[in-house]
Amino acid sequence: HLFLTTRSAGRIFHYQKETESTNLEAKKLAAEGVPEGAVIVADTQSAGRGRLGRTWVSPAGKNLYFSLILRPSVASLRIPQITLLVAAAIHQAICDLYPCIEAGVKWPNDILAGGRKLCGVLCEMQSEPGLTHFVVVGIGINVNQDDFPEELQDKATSLKLETGECFSRSRLLATVLNRFEDLYHNWQREDDLGFILPYLERYSLLQGKEVCIDQFSRQITGKVCGIARGGELVVQTEEGVELKISSGEASLRKA
């Protein structure tokens, strides 16, 4: 808490040595009425989750796994924008603390360094009528992990692998929360992500690249021209049509 300068984010703090998933825990607490800004941290997760039922590898003692409860007063259409807002905050925090790392944002929810994943964001919301509305933002950052299971060896990296040094997890957590609260306040005052777009486009790893996007049953290929104010990826297809893609998995196309 030494480094925290926020009014709300992280001021309520639940720490667990082990949990299934901090997102699951946060959703329970949010449904019980725990206020905006509460943070749930675990040293390890027995069932850490990615998107679409994927697993987040979460060994003990090394990395950051946490979830933040939000109750944004914006239209629910804008909620998916939070993922990019969080990605920008994490990117800023990494640049503040470790300027030697060249990190980039891979739309919509990853931070990469040297082509490998350093961090993932999983945003979940409850918006059913009659129930209290909330958003849970789950963040996993690889901090001091220096070896990964075989299937992740050429896909994942950590701050330690990138710099050769060990880092304070609590300082990184506080810096992410400080940066996020700032962006979140701005975002609630604005209509969209316009105020942070220049930043996102500058550090977007997909900018100007030929990509292939898997969207459930369809595949879209084209060149990325930018990120829209609503957070969608803007792609120009070979036929010259501009598409705004709001979800999916983007991969670079080999030349």
> Binding residues for ligand BT5, per CB under 6 A?
21-23, 45, 48-52, 54-57, 65-67, 109-110, 117, 120-122, 138-140, 142, 152, 155-156
Which of 237, 246 has the CB closer to ligand BT5?
246
What is the rounded distance in angstroms from the CA atom of residue 172 to the CA atom of residue 41? 13
CB of 159 to ligand BT5, least distance (A): 12
Which of 12, 152 has the CB closer to ligand BT5?
152
Which of 152, 252 has the CB closer to ligand BT5?
152
Contact 185, 204 (CB under 8 A): no
| Residue 180: CB atoms within 10 Å | 26
Strands 39-45, 13-19: pairing kind: parallel
CB of 67 to ligand BT5, least distance (A): 5
| Residue carrying structure tokens 């670079």 | 252
Give the single-character DSSP code of 16: E
CB of 117 to ligand BT5, least distance (A): 4
CB of 120 to ligand BT5, least distance (A): 2
What is the rounded distance in angstroms from the CA atom of residue 239 to the CA atom of residue 211? 15
Alpha-carbon distances, residue 197 vs 84, 193, 237, 252 (angstroms): 10, 6, 22, 21
**Which position's Cβ is nearest ligand BT5?**
120
Alpha-carbon distances, residue 95 vs 14, 27, 39, 143 (angstroms): 27, 30, 22, 14
CB of 238 to ligand BT5, least distance (A): 27
Which of 14, 49 has the CB closer to ligand BT5?
49
Which of 117, 179 has the CB closer to ligand BT5?
117
